[in-house]
Chain A
Amino acid sequence: MKRTIILTAIIALAASFASAQQTSGTIEYEITTDVEKMMKWFMPDRKMDTYSWKEEWKFRKSKAELKFTASETLYEPIVEETMDRWGGATEEHTIYSNKDKNKVCYVIRQMGKLSIVDDSIPKMKWKVTNAMKEVAGHICMSATYNDTIMGQEITAWFALDMPIPYGPDVYHGLPGMILQIDLYGGGQIYAAKTITMSDTPVKIDKPKFKKKTKTMTVAEYQAQVYKFMQDMKKRPGGMMF
């Protein structure tokens, strides 16, 4: 009985989402890194035994926020209020897009190097599959994207009741809001935790960087990421995340 009530509630909620014309809001994502799966993905040759990993070391969690209006999005990490003495500073990882101007801007630090991308919105070729599941109270359909740069198949779960073509990080272009992204064979998962819709457009500030900074295109940035990964795999001692 209780189940049926929840089910009905979700469907009712979904109907209201789909029919309402709210196109602005904020989504908080939780990013879970499964260190072991990640290692397996990057270094498939290296044999590792699951039982020798302590549970709390297997997973790393962080949070990020996506703000969106009808034409603009801003994705940024949420700086954690941690009490961990070895907790590092959060690396810059801001992604801004403007659909009307066909612009994206990334401010991303990777391997300690800060890169700024200023380009037009890249097209993403999604393949829609037949799997459905619920994420954060929304029924989602899955779609996959073949990331040739990293050589992985990315799985996205987009809400069937939120016809907004955005998503976390650089992912976008599906008929519904992307509420979950599975990367590196499940080694990293971005999952929506809270979704707040707003009647008035949320305020979005375009990321600022020094005028003189050299910017790169999305393709150049992807080439850099690829190079980092190749070097990393060759490194004695292996990966660091």
Chain B
Amino acid sequence: MKRLITLLFLSAICIARIFAQNIEISGNLIEADTGEEVPFATVMLLNESDSTLLEYAISGTDGHFVFKNVKNRDYLLKISHITYTPYQKHIKKTDGKSINLGNLKLSPIAEVLMEVVVHEAQAPLLFKGDTVEYNAATFKVAPGSTVEDLLKKLPGIEVDADGGIKSMGKDVSKVYVDGKNFFGDDPKMVTQNIDAEAVSKVQVYNDKSEQEKLTGVKDGTQNKVMNLELKQEYKKGYFGKASVGAGWGDGNFIPWLAKGSFNRFNDKYQLSVIGYGNDINSTRTDWEDMQEFKGSSAFTYDSGDFGFGGSRWWGGFGSGLYWDGNGFAQNYGGGVNFNYDNGKTILYTNYTYNQINSKADIFANQKTMLTDTSYFMTDTSYNANKNFSHSLSARLEEKIDSLDYIIGRINVNFTGTRKNYENTALYQAANLDLINQYEELSNSKLNNINTDALVIYNHKFMKPKRSFSISAENKNTIALEKENEENMNDFFNATTEDERIKVASSQNKNTNNLKSSVMYVEPIGKRFTFSTFYNFAMNTEKLSHEAQDELQSNAAIDSLSLISQRDLFYNRLGVAFAYSFNGLYINAGAAYKNLQQNGKYTRANVDGDPLRRNYGSVIPYFELNWQSPNNIWMSFDYSYDIDEPDFAYLQPISTNMDPLYVVNGNPNLSYTSSHNTSAMFGYHNRASFMGAFVSLDYSYQPDLITYNQKIEYVDGLGYRNVRTPEIVHGGHEAGANIHLELPIVKSKFTTHLGFRYGYDQNPIFINGVENLSQSNSFNPNITFQINLSDKLTWRINGRYGYTTTTYKSENYFNNNKTTNYNVGTSIKWQMFGRTYLEANYKYNKYLNNEFTNNPDMHILNVSIKQYLGKGNKFELRLAACDLLNQSVSIAQYASSNTVYYRESPTLSRYYMLTFSYNMKGFQDKGRNRPEIDF
């Protein structure tokens, strides 16, 4: 037997041992009650002071153990065995040559406790002398149970009818919570009042009596004491934030903001409320606020579209309202969110309301080039809009068993738009002679009711990677619109009277989209999978439009009245093979796609020509991704796809009443097609922080739709633009993107270099003459990020944008060049302990060779913030925005045969003082990255 013991010795026996006066330690292990020998116990010699393991041995079948040739010193002997309570004994240095410990009595672990060790694998059973610690998560209790119910489940603990607690037969005199007294000495106060859910650990230990604590003398009284350790999230399962701010601006503008949120959560549910309002053009909800408000559901995107190429089918309507950045906007909103997740059922629900009131004056210039001349338009408009949205959504995910889950989602959304629009457009010939002035006044009211219901079911089979999925979705939109529009065309060389139109129209549009997908995936070997899928969609749009001439005693206007129905059927059946192993993923497949369009309309009780179109094509798909272990990844993909032409292109049923823009339909159009390919390369050295990213994409459109524009001078009207869609061939689009991250001094001085290049080439038709527009854009940018110290960060940014648009045949088509450039710099400085200064300056310049005004602006923003209170719970911030009072919203672009420039006064200089409170305490974020924009 001794041979076995020797065998099982670890051979790491120090050489030093040979020289020291080494000793032998031996003993016998027996069971306390029966006196039976205990074999196969692990016997360890630990360092007495810190329990470091020094030597170990295994007891033999006779329960005997021996340590030969060990240092003569103090030890802590420790014996552990799978069925005995750990045993410890101090061994003192000896004067002799050996220590025989004789019989050491081990006590078996109580069977109830043993079960904890064996069955509740989550629960390590921590022995502390003769007491133990329980991990509460291991013991399942019904939701809403109290600590008392939990205690009743713990092995070795008894709770009697009166709520008295016994541990291993001894009374528990006190219950602490997180080591602190909880409502005095009565244990029942705790056990009957605290939710079992909140407890992470239950510890039972022997406490010294009050007398012993004072005197240090043992008085023989033994108190069992229980401590309940609360889960982290119950310690602080809520937080809230609130900010209010007000100030002054130029004119009578009074900037203000108010926002607040409160969040209550634990490991199962989360309830949040949010509310906000401001008049400082801040219409987008902060991403961080949204994430806090929605919790994990902020990351949930469901798509019932299976198969390659992703989904393009009527992507959902967000509740977010859009504001174009012109003028002044007030923003209000609020919502409630409730999430529940018990691991099996996950429920997300929320209701939100948003409203944006905006007002804008917009000034625009446009030059239109024709084959033999050109003309100008100068446009002044005033827009006053109110947009609001109520949105309610619920999502339920149910894990039926380990192989099946089902997701159901419902969104209901009500949006309204109220618009007032006044516009004056002045047209001038190339020699700046006045031609005509077109005025428009309109107000409209649009209400939309959107509903969307989606169900996804997924089944996995016992065979790994084999799966079946099915989805169904129905989206419905009812749009009701009422509009009053008045327009007047004043022709300057008047031989005719001014043409004046005043129309009241109403429109009712119902769009319904029903779609469904199924997919089956079958593994082939370990690295291949085969999948097959079928997608179906049916889109129906019913529209009725009526118009009355208010100048002709509200007579119906036949040319503007319409009843139409448009149906689109989409079918796609495809297969794909995928290979995936160790960083390489290849997916190749093909599908047959069929599109069917049916349209019919009635105008003034006369049926128009019905439309029936049917297109089909095989569409291939290829995708490759590779990620190497040495920080390089690359991807390549190719796809070919076809799309149907819009109904609006096919049927000549416009309800536009502007006499200067006439849009015709072209029922002979066929489908459009495109070949798309992209490649990407990335490298990031995680040690040096050097990074490089390159992406290239190219798309070729064999068939695309463009308007054939017939622009002619009509006497008594002005320049009239008549547009007819045509299929043209040979559109190209290419782009390249390069980004480099170059650390010059690691984590102190970093340079980012970026370059974007874009090219597109499109055939255009002006007055029957085909031309080719080619546009090139270059956008280099550079950023230096300098962390001067932990407290001061400086960032410099420069960006240059240059776009040229050239025409193949240059008769009257001037090559156009637009240039935007901006440079900016920002600092963030922790001036004193909790005082921060942030400042940024930006210079923007806009150049355009077609117009004489080349505006520029200097924008300077400065703010000081001070954290206050314990844990930085308060923040006081004084901000000066646009100190130089130069902010204007500007846009310019060239497209087809027009060059366009627009500007709109927007929020400029104002000062604001904001006071905020955060229950969690504020944290200075982005120490390393002051933002260029506030």
Compute how far the CA of A236 lies from the CA of B631 in the bound complex, rounded to whole angstroms.
18
As a 0/1 sequence over residues 617 to 643 of chain B, the CB contacts with chain A under 8 angstroms (1 = contact) are 000000101011111010000000000
Given A130-B86, A231-B687, A236 and B527 contact (CB-CB distance below 8 Å)? no
Of the candidates A53, A99, A141, A157, the one whose C-beta lies within 8 Å of that of B296 is A53
Does B58 contact A89, Cβ atoms closer than 8 Å?
A: no
Does A85 contact B623, Cβ atoms closer than 8 Å?
A: yes
Compute how far the CA of A130 lies from the CA of B78 in the bound complex, rounded to whole angstroms.
10
CB distance from B642 to the nearest CB of A (A): 25
Given A54-B296, A81-B581, A236 and B86 contact (CB-CB distance below 8 Å)? no
Does A51 contact B270, Cβ atoms closer than 8 Å?
A: yes
Does A6 contact B687, Cβ atoms closer than 8 Å?
A: no
Q: Which stretch from B47-55, B174-182, B195-203, B602-610 is at the chain A interface?
A: B47-55
By the criterion of a CB under 8 Å from any partner CB, how many residues of chain B are at the interface? 87
B217 within 8 A of A: no
Q: Which stretch from A12-20, A27-35, A207-215 is at the chain B interface?
A: A12-20
Which residues between 568 and 591 of chain B lie within 8 Å of chain A, taking CB atoms? 578, 580-585, 587
A1 within 8 A of B: no
Chain A's interface size range is 35 or more
Does A175 contact B56, Cβ atoms closer than 8 Å?
A: yes
CB distance from A164 to the nearest CB of B (A): 9
B685 within 8 A of A: yes
As a 0/1 sequence over residues 45 to 75 of chain B, the CB contacts with chain A under 8 angstroms (1 = contact) are 0100011110010100100000000000000
Given A50-B233, A163-B58, A134 and B117 contact (CB-CB distance below 8 Å)? yes
Compute how far the CA of A133 lies from the CA of B631 in the bound complex, rounded to whole angstroms.
39
Of the candidates A21, A86, A142, A175, the one whose C-beta lies within 8 Å of that of B42 is A175
A118 within 8 A of B: no
Given A88-B583, A130-B86, A131-B127, A236 and B747 contact (CB-CB distance below 8 Å)? yes
Find chain B residues with CB under 8 A from A10 CB.
118
Given A84-B580, A85-B623, A133-B123, A139 and B296 contact (CB-CB distance below 8 Å)? no
Does B296 contact A130, Cβ atoms closer than 8 Å?
A: no
B495 within 8 A of A: no
A101 within 8 A of B: no
Residue in A closest to B114 when the chains form the complex, CB atoms: A7
CB distance from A50 to the nearest CB of B (A): 7
Residue in B closest to A130 when the chains form the complex, CB atoms: B127
Which residues between 153 and 209 of chain A lie within 8 Å of chain B, taking CB atoms? 157, 160-161, 163, 165, 173-176
As a 0/1 sequence over residues 213 to 241 of chain A, the CB contacts with chain B under 8 angstroms (1 = contact) are 00000000000000010011011110010
Find chain A residues with CB under 8 A from B627 CB.
86-89
CB distance from A32 to the nearest CB of B (A): 13
Residue in B closest to A176 when the chains form the complex, CB atoms: B42
Does A89 contact B529, Cβ atoms closer than 8 Å?
A: no
Does A83 contact B578, Cβ atoms closer than 8 Å?
A: yes
Of the candidates B39, B299, B585, B684, the one whose C-beta lies within 8 Å of that of A85 is B585
B111 within 8 A of A: yes
Residue in A closest to B265 when the chains form the complex, CB atoms: A51
Does B127 contact A47, Cβ atoms closer than 8 Å?
A: no
Find chain B residues with CB under 8 A from A92 CB.
629
A111 within 8 A of B: yes
Residue in A closest to B115 when the chains form the complex, CB atoms: A3
Does B298 contact A174, Cβ atoms closer than 8 Å?
A: no
Does A175 contact B117, Cβ atoms closer than 8 Å?
A: no
Compute how far the CA of A231 lies from the CA of B61 in the bound complex, rounded to whole angstroms.
54
Residue in A closest to B125 when the chains form the complex, CB atoms: A132
Of the candidates B117, B270, B687, B747, the one whose C-beta lies within 8 Å of that of A228 is B687
B689 within 8 A of A: yes
Find chain B residues with CB under 8 A from A4 CB.
111
Does B124 contact A14, Cβ atoms closer than 8 Å?
A: no
Find chain B residues with CB under 8 A from A111 CB.
631, 685-687
Does B124 contact A132, Cβ atoms closer than 8 Å?
A: yes
Of the candidates B8, B56, B465, B583, the one whose C-beta lies within 8 Å of that of A89 is B583
Does A235 contact B689, Cβ atoms closer than 8 Å?
A: yes
Compute how far the CA of A114 lies from the CA of B630 in the bound complex, rounded to whole angstroms.
8
Given A52-B295, A175-B44, A236-B747, A139 and B118 contact (CB-CB distance below 8 Å)? yes
Does B83 contact A11, Cβ atoms closer than 8 Å?
A: yes
Of the candidates A15, A52, A134, the one whose C-beta lies within 8 Å of that of B40 is A15
Does A79 contact B292, Cβ atoms closer than 8 Å?
A: no
A143 within 8 A of B: yes
CB distance from A71 to the nearest CB of B (A): 10
Does A128 contact B44, Cβ atoms closer than 8 Å?
A: yes
Does A141 contact B8, Cβ atoms closer than 8 Å?
A: no
Find chain B residues with CB under 8 A from A143 CB.
53
Residue in A closest to B50 when the chains form the complex, CB atoms: A127
Compute how far the CA of A177 lies from the CA of B625 in the bound complex, rounded to whole angstroms.
40
Does B53 contact A131, Cβ atoms closer than 8 Å?
A: no
Does A112 contact B687, Cβ atoms closer than 8 Å?
A: yes
As a 0/1 sequence over residues 82 to 103 of chain A, the CB contacts with chain B under 8 angstroms (1 = contact) are 1111111111100000010000
Find chain A residues with CB under 8 A from B56 CB.
175
Does B585 contact A112, Cβ atoms closer than 8 Å?
A: no
Residue in A closest to B119 when the chains form the complex, CB atoms: A3
Find chain B residues with CB under 8 A from A165 CB.
10
Does A51 contact B127, Cβ atoms closer than 8 Å?
A: no
Find chain B residues with CB under 8 A from A142 CB.
124
A59 within 8 A of B: no
Of the candidates B86, B339, B580, the one whose C-beta lies within 8 Å of that of A87 is B580
Find chain A residues with CB under 8 A from B126 CB.
129-131
Given A15-B40, A85-B585, A112 and B685 contact (CB-CB distance below 8 Å)? yes
Find chain A residues with CB under 8 A from B809 CB.
none
Does B118 contact A7, Cβ atoms closer than 8 Å?
A: yes
Does B10 contact A134, Cβ atoms closer than 8 Å?
A: no
Given A3-B119, A139-B117, A127 and B42 contact (CB-CB distance below 8 Å)? no
Find chain B residues with CB under 8 A from A49 CB.
239, 292
Given A83-B465, A130-B86, A130-B127, A112 and B686 contact (CB-CB distance below 8 Å)? yes
Compute how far the CA of A81 lies from the CA of B465 in the bound complex, rounded to whole angstroms.
10
B852 within 8 A of A: no
Of the candidates A11, A91, A232, the one whose C-beta lies within 8 Å of that of B82 is A11
Does B10 contact A160, Cβ atoms closer than 8 Å?
A: no
As a 0/1 sequence over residues 587 to 605 of chain B, the CB contacts with chain A under 8 angstroms (1 = contact) are 1000000000000000000
Find chain A residues with CB under 8 A from B125 CB.
131-133
A41 within 8 A of B: no
A109 within 8 A of B: yes
Find chain B residues with CB under 8 A from A228 CB.
686-687
Which residues between 33 and 65 of chain A lie within 8 Å of chain B, taking CB atoms? 46-47, 49-55, 57
Residue in A closest to B124 when the chains form the complex, CB atoms: A133
Does A87 contact B687, Cβ atoms closer than 8 Å?
A: no
Does B920 contact A47, Cβ atoms closer than 8 Å?
A: yes
Of the candidates A87, A112, A131, the one whose C-beta lies within 8 Å of that of B630 is A112
Residue in B closest to A133 when the chains form the complex, CB atoms: B124
CB distance from A60 to the nearest CB of B (A): 15
CB distance from B219 to the nearest CB of A (A): 27
Of the candidates A87, A91, A173, the one whose C-beta lies within 8 Å of that of B629 is A91
B341 within 8 A of A: yes
Given A7-B111, A134-B117, A139-B118, A235 and B747 contact (CB-CB distance below 8 Å)? yes
Given A90-B582, A130-B86, A55 and B341 contact (CB-CB distance below 8 Å)? yes
Given A86-B625, A133-B125, A141 and B299 contact (CB-CB distance below 8 Å)? no
Residue in B closest to A71 when the chains form the complex, CB atoms: B11
CB distance from A68 to the nearest CB of B (A): 14
Does B686 contact A240, Cβ atoms closer than 8 Å?
A: yes
Compute how far the CA of A57 lies from the CA of B300 in the bound complex, rounded to whole angstroms.
12
Which residues between 359 and 379 of chain B lie within 8 Å of chain A, taking CB atoms? none
Compute how far the CA of A88 lies from the CA of B582 in the bound complex, rounded to whole angstroms.
6
B390 within 8 A of A: no
- What are the 3 tightest A-B residue pairs by CB atom distance, in nearest-first order? A89-B583, A236-B928, A133-B124
List 5 interface pairs A-B (beta carbons < 8 Å), by A numbering: A50-B267, A99-B11, A139-B118, A175-B53, A237-B928
A50-B267, A87-B585, A173-B12 given; 18 more Cβ-contact pairs under 8 Å? A6-B118, A7-B114, A11-B82, A50-B233, A57-B299, A81-B526, A83-B580, A88-B627, A125-B52, A128-B53, A129-B51, A130-B86, A130-B126, A132-B124, A133-B117, A133-B124, A141-B80, A234-B747
